[in-house]
Structure 1
Amino acid sequence: MSYITVEITILKPLDLIWECFTDRDHIEEWYFASQDWHCPNAENNFEVGGTFNYRMEAKDEDFGFNFTGVFDEITTNDVIKYHLDDGRKVDVKFKNETENSVKLIQNFEAEKENPHNLQKKGWFAILNNFKNYVENYEEQIIE
């Protein structure tokens, strides 16, 4: 099985980045690849052995799917490892570069249905949406 890597640098403190990446209320605000999509529901039992289920849907309700799996390893502000329900493994690393700059690196096992460049583009789009959400987040209360 081959791996694909996507990475991005986010200009905010690590604690905020970690919170936005792991809290279900935040996830619902950023877990989609384009503005034509949204995440109407995110269930996140964020502990080793805990499950997650993020619903991604087109806003026109034409198509949607669940992104589901189990957390295998969690080291706060450092690493999250999980496996998807199809067995593919994913690891996410948070590398502090400065006090207000973090490189987020995702390595994931490629699936067989889509070309690698399409998978990389999709995962990067979600990561870029996350970056935009975090960098524009001003400690507001999420409803």
Structure 2
Amino acid sequence: MSQSNPITVQTLVSAPPEAAWAAFTDPDAITQWNFASPDWHCPSASVDLREGGRQSARMEARDGSMGFEFGGTYQEVDAPNALALRLDDGRLSRTTFEAAEGGTRVSTTFDPDGTAPPEMQRDGWQAILDNYKRYTDGQVGSG
């Protein structure tokens, strides 16, 4: 199986690394931001936040026409710095949280799946990360 080059998406959230980490790993928070477009949602998520533990998120079209489980096993859990997930299809996703001026730079690098064009995958993962930013920034503003 040949993999193309890993893809990286990133955002800057206005929260310190500990709060950015919490918003990224808390199952209740994940259901608030883990979807690429408004016609999708994430009705449930589970997190066993330890190396060898599992993360799973249910992704569904809001109209009920389709849905799937998106999950994997944690390969690295280094709170609040880095998190690596071996996806169920064998690909690797690694997210880092770096303190930056104005908050935390959150970067996710992932192996593309080999089916959809890399640009489409980058756009989808970036849209999810943009939702994460909106959610996290909203939590900072309200807390």
| TM-score bin, normalised by smaller chain | over 0.9
2:32 matched to 1:34? no
Tell me the TM-score normalised to structure 1 length: 0.93
Distance in 1 between residues matched to 2:112 and 2:38, nearest whole Å: 24
Distance in 1 between residues matched to 2:93 and 2:18, nearest whole Å: 21
SS of residue matched to 1:104: strand
SS of residue matched to 2:49: coil
Q: CA RMSD in A?
A: 1.0
Runs of 4+ in 1 over 4 A off after TM superposition: none
Alignment match, 2:117: 115
Alignment match, 2:65: 62
**What is the aligned residue count?**
138
2:128 matched to 1:126? yes
SS of residue matched to 1:62: coil
Distance in 2 between residues matched to 1:22 and 1:129, nearest whole Å: 14
Deviation for aligned residue 1:34: 1.5
Tell me the TM-score normalised to structure 2 length: 0.93
2:28 matched to 1:25? yes
Q: Note the residue ranges of structure 2 that are not aligned, 5 or more in a row.
A: none
Q: Percent sequence identity over matched residues?
A: 36
Deviation for aligned residue 1:78: 0.4
Distance in 2 between residues matched to 1:74 and 1:52, nearest whole Å: 12
Deviation for aligned residue 1:13: 1.9
Q: What amino acid does structure 2 have at the position aligned with 1:13?
A: P
Deviation for aligned residue 1:27: 0.7
> CA contact under 8 A between 2:32 and 2:135: conserved in structure 1?
yes
